[in-house]
Structure 1
Amino acid sequence: EESGRYQTLGGLVMLQVGRVPVTGDVFEAEGHRFEVVDMDGKRVDKVLVSRLPTAQTTEER
């Protein structure tokens, strides 16, 4: 776990991608999918966060 090494969502994104992110970057962490939707220069402006389906969720369908 990398938790505690960042204080903002932008910090989490930068830690996960290992660089200043660009619009369209996608990664999965802690049961969620994160997609960088908008950047403001080098600042993460918008991130779309979606919960990933779990085995239990899949079985319920």
Structure 2
Amino acid sequence: MSRTPKLLTPKDVHDATFNIRGFRRDAYDADQVDELLDNAEHTIRVLAHTAHNTWRNDGRSE
């Protein structure tokens, strides 16, 4: 993937649609599915990193 993934909102995931490829009505465009999954992975990594840093910093005195 050459472009930077975007952070997804719950609405992005809920509203995701994919074009149908080929003659089968259940065959989705693999590139579109891959892009959504790449963005979902990126979102989860950013949130996990943020949560980890927040948890780690909660023990520090100001």
The bucket for the TM-score relative to the shorter chain is under 0.3
The TM-score, its normalising length taken from structure 2, stands at: 0.25
Higher strand share: 1
**Larger relative CO (CA 8 A, sep 6+): 1 or 2?**
2
The TM-score, its normalising length taken from structure 1, stands at: 0.25
Higher helix share: 2
Larger Rg over CA atoms: 2
